Structure 1
Amino acid sequence: MAAPSEAPWSVPGSAPAERTPPWRYAIGMFGISIPINFIKGSIVLLYVDTLGMDVRAYAAVMAVYAVIDALDNPLLGHLSDRTRSRFGRRRPWLMIGAPLLAASMIALFSPPDLDGTALVLWFAVFAILSELFDSMLNANYGALLPELFPSERRRGLANALRQAFQLVAMIISLALTPVLTTSLLGSEHGTEGFPRTALAYAVLAVTVIWAMTLGVREDPATQHEERPRLVSAIGQILRTRLFWGVGLTSACYGAALAIVLSGVQLYVRHWLGLPVAYAFALQGIVILVAAGGLFLWLRLVVRIGALRTWRIAFLVLAGAFGLLYLAGSLPAALAAGAVLGLGWAGMMATNDLVVARVLDRDAARHRLHREGLFLSAFGVFGRLNGAVSGLALASLGALFGYYSGEHPGPEPGQAFRVYLCVYPFVLCTLGAIAARFVSVPSPEESAAAAAGEETAR
């Protein structure tokens, strides 16, 4: 029986939190973030604005993938939970998933000379494969957080460190990418810079992910647990109110972020009227402020808890998009970007901690470690972000006449002003309202409740 101060999966003597230093686990976020942020940040620029693929085709592909992902995400997580090997449950999937994601990303950014339906099919196949392997990596990497670091204080440190590594990755994969693809390795309206950049990022990502995976040590006690059953486990998850409350609320943040990542370069090109390379400045200020604010938010988490801090961060993020809408020049956009970075840091510092609390509660109630399935189920909400951003992009055709870089319509600037500012503002406002009605017990509270239930038996 776990003591009230321990997490539900703590095993006396195993001390999983002491087996892996937080920094060693956290560095994996750098490798995982590089590919997916490059994809999200540059895919619209390459396929829609440069190659001329219709935004409606882009939206259709994202919608189809949302359906596919709703099926494969839980299955991937369940397979991870059921894995029993001398290397652990999560590590084999991380070792396999890294090169698969790297290969699909390179293919995605290296389309042959295609147009029309052929271009859409190439995009669909490799966009879906990239998202699939990203799901595999994230489900297994995220499942390690609550297992390796049972207390919320130590978990918060590990999460803050991994988010810091994510920000470093974003400086490269988002802020530096426009310079690489359109200047150093390519040209403003050419495509040759994209495959070169993808290859460099692939090598970097695989190296870091493998180094992290070989360095973490999973809790050996989980190897002896009963293997969860898929149908009953999914049924229990779907009947969990916290799953729906936290999942839908987090999806508001995730969808807003997906829109920002895909639209910032086009916001700079069409609304601010500047070369795409200037996105480096806007993305850079957001990331630098986020890096500076991350550990300030962590201090707030320690003082008032992850849940209350999460609610405050939603409000700051929503306000930032309002300011960005009012910006009409690069200096004004940079000022708004600083506020955006602050709000974003708050969400990075808290969102995963709130999700981890749901995993704590599930483990305490059902005596099973099925973090992979649970996180993959949460990932279904996250993967709907692509469908939401796709629909938002498709709406620009109906509202402003923007269908592609070849058919931009009369107001492409206003189109991407709405895309980057109004849609995320609405989503974050909805998230802030919903977060007020979400209540999730801390790891210590879940452990105490489990101890009380065990005593009652």
Structure 2
Amino acid sequence: MDAPPAAAGSPGPAGAAPPPPRADAPPVAAAGPAPSPLPRRVHAGYALGSLATGAFGTVPGLLLLPYLTDTLGVAAGVAALLVLLPKAWDVLVNPVAGRISDRTRSRWGPRRPWLLGAGLALAVLFAAIFAAPFGSGPAAGAYVALAFLATATAFAFFQVPYVAMPAELTGDRAERTRMMSWRIAVLALAILVSGAVAPMVVTAGGDGVAGHRWMGIFVAALIALGALGAFLGTRSASAGVVTETEPSLRAQLAVAGRHRPFRALLLCFVIQSAGVATILAGVSYFADQILRDPANGPTLLFACFVGPALLVMPLWTRIGARLGKRTALVAASVLLAVGAAVLVAAPVLPAAAVYAVVALLGVGYAGQQVFALALLPDCVADETARTGRRQAGVFTGLWTAGETFGLALGPGIYGLVLALTGYVSSDTGTAAAQSDTARLGVLLGFSVLPATLVGGAVLLLRGWTLHPDPEDAS
């Protein structure tokens, strides 16, 4: 936990206050002993939690919308609402989960009990989403919505404490960036495994309802592994000092709302999450309607999107150290947006060129994720240092609420685009024949729409700055 700054910004010998350092500049060495680095086992253990967050963040966005439209026969517009509304519920639940975890007292610390309990509940409820006890039709759609609502609630109580932990495990900004690099590498692996393998499990299980049931069990096992790994892997780390909090949730939300850098970063990330989620939601449709490869296309697209992230993470870490986190975030976002925009030409490009462009998106996505998540604990530490009060739970509660809403908004918007362009649903387990207009909707939702959202959001970061952390003061 960061201590309040003692002398940062105090007048120098000549009586003039020194100019503050750039907010996104590499940290300046602090006077006195440097913070002890965290053991690698803690880095690795914490990162394993991204198996759970990555699987839940990926598979519903990838498969739930086509599951509703092409297996349960739910109309595209209705399916969009069924995907959006349960996750939008997290906008209300996540800040509450943050406040509860802030006030949790246990021998395991304030966060780890939630990693275990909520993580295992999340696994069980995820499998229930695809259990399909009512077959197809309206009753089946209603069941999916209720099961998804319960799963999203469990996810809130897992993800909020999980995201809050880095600001409490170390007060070193560089160390937090290294933690995020580990986490994003595992997140990329989780997205690759869950996103690429889940469609294969559906196919191996016989497609339709039966195949989706097997897929639900597979992803549930992945979530349980991540939750247990994070709980056990962080057992040797400091649990974080429980400091004074604001007296009410409203007061904590007001503090977060007054923190301008956090507001700008949060809004940027929410919009960009919606853009990334439209890409995820469109993978199956794009592979089927544009690439004409429903069997192998989704797996290849995911391999190209996520595979580069596993390779370029050390490069992004060096770029962030050289340019600063905010500048690197902008650069990665622009790369992601440009790559998405180029995909509008996919109908006239060779398949190999399309997959190469998707790999370019993956490089930008890796940087966009790591630097946004690395700047979040900097905001938490900044507010804690200035006020002396514990705000990690509420800040991360708002963050995860926004991220979850963005990830739900993407499929919702994509489903609306499909509805407006006349996409025809099916209850056979395979997509129906579509008109040229519907195919155009599939293409624009996968290319122009995410490019606009991701690229436009970086304008919110103009003039972004933080007070220096105590370790940044010389």
The aligned counterpart of 1:390 is 412
Q: Matches of 1:221 and 1:137 in 2, distance apart?
A: 17
Change in Cα spacing, 1:202 to 1:221, as seen in structure 2 (3 Å) is closer
TM-score, normalising length: structure 1: 0.89
Aligned with 2:307 (options 279, 288, 295): 288
Change in Cα spacing, 1:283 to 1:19, as seen in structure 2 (3 Å) is closer
* 1:118 and 2:139 matched: yes
Aligned with 2:435 (options 410, 415, 438): 410
* Count of residue correspondences: 440
Q: Matches of 1:102 and 1:115 in 2, distance apart?
A: 23
Instruction: Give 1:74-93 correspondences, 5 Å limit.
Output: 74-93=95-114
* 1:202 and 2:220 matched: yes
* 1:318 and 2:341 matched: no
Name which of structure 1's ranges 201-210 and 134-143 shifts more when overlaid on structure 2: 201-210
- Tell me if the contact between 1:82 and 1:228 (Cα under 8 Å) persists in the aligned partners: no
Give structure 2 stretches of 5+ with no counterpart: 9-26
- Tell me if the contact between 1:14 and 1:220 (Cα under 8 Å) persists in the aligned partners: no
Q: Matches of 2:181 and 2:37 in 1, distance apart?
A: 19
- Tell me if the contact between 1:32 and 1:209 (Cα under 8 Å) persists in the aligned partners: no
- Tell me if the contact between 1:249 and 1:435 (Cα under 8 Å) persists in the aligned partners: yes
* 1:133 and 2:154 matched: yes
- Tell me if the contact between 2:168 and 2:239 (Cα under 8 Å) persists in the aligned partners: no
Change in Cα spacing, 1:439 to 1:224, as seen in structure 2 (3 Å) is closer
Displacement after TM superposition at 1:201 (Å): 2.4
CA deviation profile, 1:254-286 (whole Å, cap 9, x unmatched)? 101111112111110111111243211121012
Change in Cα spacing, 1:440 to 1:175, as seen in structure 2 (3 Å) is farther
Name which of structure 1's ranges 327-336 and 210-219 shifts more when overlaid on structure 2: 210-219
The aligned counterpart of 1:302 is 321
TM-score, normalising length: structure 2: 0.86
The aligned counterpart of 1:423 is 449
Q: Matches of 2:58 and 2:446 in 1, distance apart?
A: 16
- Tell me if the contact between 1:354 and 1:440 (Cα under 8 Å) persists in the aligned partners: no
CA deviation profile, 1:73-96 (whole Å, cap 9, x unmatched)? 110111001111111000111111
SS of aligned partner of 2:310: helix
- Tell me if the contact between 2:5 and 2:385 (Cα under 8 Å) persists in the aligned partners: no
Q: Matches of 2:346 and 2:297 in 1, distance apart?
A: 15
SS of aligned partner of 1:327: helix
Change in Cα spacing, 1:16 to 1:93, as seen in structure 2 (3 Å) is farther
Q: Matches of 1:157 and 1:74 in 2, distance apart?
A: 26
The aligned counterpart of 1:455 is none
Given residue 120 of structure 1, which amino acid in structure 2 is its aligned partner? G
Given residue 243 of structure 1, which amino acid in structure 2 is its aligned partner? F
SS of aligned partner of 1:222: coil
Displacement after TM superposition at 1:223 (Å): 3.4
Change in Cα spacing, 1:65 to 1:437, as seen in structure 2 (3 Å) is farther
RMSD after superposition: 2.6
Structure that is richer in helix per residue: 1
- Identity of counterpart residues, as a percentage? 24
The aligned counterpart of 1:219 is 238
CA deviation profile, 1:214-273 (whole Å, cap 9, x unmatched)? 231453551364575322111222222223211111112110111111211111011111
Aligned with 2:183 (options 152, 162, 184): 162
Change in Cα spacing, 1:341 to 1:122, as seen in structure 2 (3 Å) is same
SS of aligned partner of 2:89: helix
- Tell me if the contact between 1:272 and 1:413 (Cα under 8 Å) persists in the aligned partners: no
* 1:231 and 2:257 matched: no
Q: Matches of 1:221 and 1:33 in 2, distance apart?
A: 25
SS of aligned partner of 1:272: coil
- Tell me if the contact between 1:16 and 1:218 (Cα under 8 Å) persists in the aligned partners: no
SS of aligned partner of 1:223: coil
- Tell me if the contact between 2:308 and 2:363 (Cα under 8 Å) persists in the aligned partners: yes
